Amino acid sequence: MKTFVILLVLVVVVLAVVGPQTLYTVDEKQMAVVTRFGEPVATNRMPGLKVKMPFVDTVNYFEKRLLLFDAPPDSLLTLDKKRLIIDVYARGRIIDPLLFFERLRTEAQAASRAVDIISSELRSEVAGDIQAEIITTKREAIMGQVKANVFPKLLEFGIELVDLRIKRADFPNEIADSVYARMQAERKRIGDRERAEGAEVDARVRADVDKQATVIRALAQRDADITRGCGEAESVKIFADAFKEDPEFFTFEESLRINRDILTQNTTAIMTVADLGQLFEGIRSGAVLGAEVPDGVALGAGSDLDQFGSRCAEVAATRTLARDLNLDLSLLEVVSAEPVEWQNSSLGCPEEGRTYAPVSVAGYKLVLDQKGDSYEIHTNLHGSEIAICTE
């Protein structure tokens, strides 16, 4: 029994001393190359517990995962003799651990050799392109070509190149300020041009609006003058009709108005009653002469008054139709204005069920056009009465 215990203790001691030198493990993220006196004797890609010769074999572990090859920023000369600061990085994995060990030994040595190869190929590729194209349009093409050139060279070391990218491509510090200044000047030029074009459009729009406002005011003033003239003409007609009814009363009323205008202007008159009567009679005689129509002047159709009445009718008809159609006055055009003697106050557009006194009314039949649509409007002589005929 004692002998068994002693043997068991000896076995445990031997395993404790010799075990770590005989057994080793390979992680799922690693590969191992076993060397004996510096020469490789075995390669293990699969994870698990492995056996080696104690005190003779050495295990070298390598990553199964992607390796990062980060090249430092480098100043490269382009085809147009300009410099660019380019910073690149690459990703690769070890696919042949035995070849990797024989050629490079360590991952640090692999990173150094890969960075040298990438920098050399990148320098050669950049030297064949101009600076502006590298920055703007040819970056992907350059990286694709560099990757294609680097790939077979890294395979010689048991490394598969997975990806290659440019982190940044900048101007050197000594010319960056001038480049930024030029960019700012270009943006300012574009901004000034946009502002100038905007100012031109603004001036053109304002000029067009001012023109339209001037035209609208002129048309409004014209129509107002015509309307005012039409009213005065109507007033003259009313006074003329009143004069025909009682000329003596009309001249008396007119002489009183003239006397009232004169005597309210702080005028002092020194005269006898007989002189005042003569003054009053003289004013009355003047009113009679002023109300007379000179020989040779006709107030019938075709006279200046008749033409003025036509214009009054046109303005009144245009305004009424524009208001009914909710249109701008400038969109309506008078096609014709025909003098007509209407049979009654309906102006040729009688309403059903309504009776009209058979009184003849002088006026006009007007035709207005709005983009091909015609409208017929009837008015009296000066446009104070309007009828829009509808079917």
Residue pointed to by tokens 């003025």: 308
Q: Are 316 and 384 in contact (CB under 8 A)?
A: yes
What's the Cα-to-Cα distance from 144 to each of 76, 114, 122, 141, rounded to whole Å?
18, 16, 11, 5
Q: What does the pLDDT read at residue 301?
A: 41
CA pair distance 331, 327, nearest whole angstrom: 7
Q: What does the pLDDT read at residue 302?
A: 43
Judged on CB neighbours under 10 Å (0-12, 13-18, 19+), 384 is middle
User: How many CB atoms are closer than 10 A to CB 298?
Assistant: 11
Q: What does the pLDDT read at residue 200?
A: 92
Residue pointed to by tokens 């002047």: 297
Indicate the domain borders of the chain: 2-63, 67-175, 246-292, 310-388
pLDDT in tens, the chain (391 residues): 667 666 665 544 444 445 457 788 888 888 999 988 888 888 888 888 888 888 788 889 999 999 999 888 888 888 888 888 888 999 999 999 999 998 888 889 999 999 999 999 988 888 888 877 877 788 888 888 999 999 999 999 999 999 998 888 777 776 767 777 888 889 999 999 999 999 999 999 999 999 888 888 887 787 777 777 777 777 777 777 776 676 667 666 766 776 676 666 666 666 666 666 666 666 666 655 655 555 544 444 444 445 555 778 888 888 888 888 887 777 788 888 888 888 888 888 888 778 887 788 888 888 888 888 888 888 887 777 888 876 5
Burial per residue of 131-166, b for 16 or more beta-carbon CB atoms within 10 angstroms, e otherwise: beebeeebbeebbebbbebbeebbeebbbebeebeb
- CATH number for region 67-175: 3.30.479.30
The single-letter DSSP state of residue 293 is P
Q: Are 53 and 34 in contact (CB under 8 A)?
A: no
| 99 Cβ neighbours under 8 A, 6+ residues apart | 157, 158
Q: Are 64 and 29 in contact (CB under 8 A)?
A: yes
- Helices (H), ranges, 162-172: none
DSSP state string for 315-335 = HHHHHHHHHHHT--GGG-EEE
Give me 86's structure tokens: 């380019």
Helix axes 273-291, 247-263, angle to 10 degrees: 120
User: How many CB atoms are closer than 10 A to CB 387?
Assistant: 21
The single-letter DSSP state of residue 52 is -
What's the Cα-to-Cα distance from 322 to each of 100, 136, 223, 365, 388, rounded to whole Å?
95, 61, 14, 17, 12
What's the Cα-to-Cα distance from 255 to each of 137, 274, 281, rounded to whole Å?
99, 17, 8
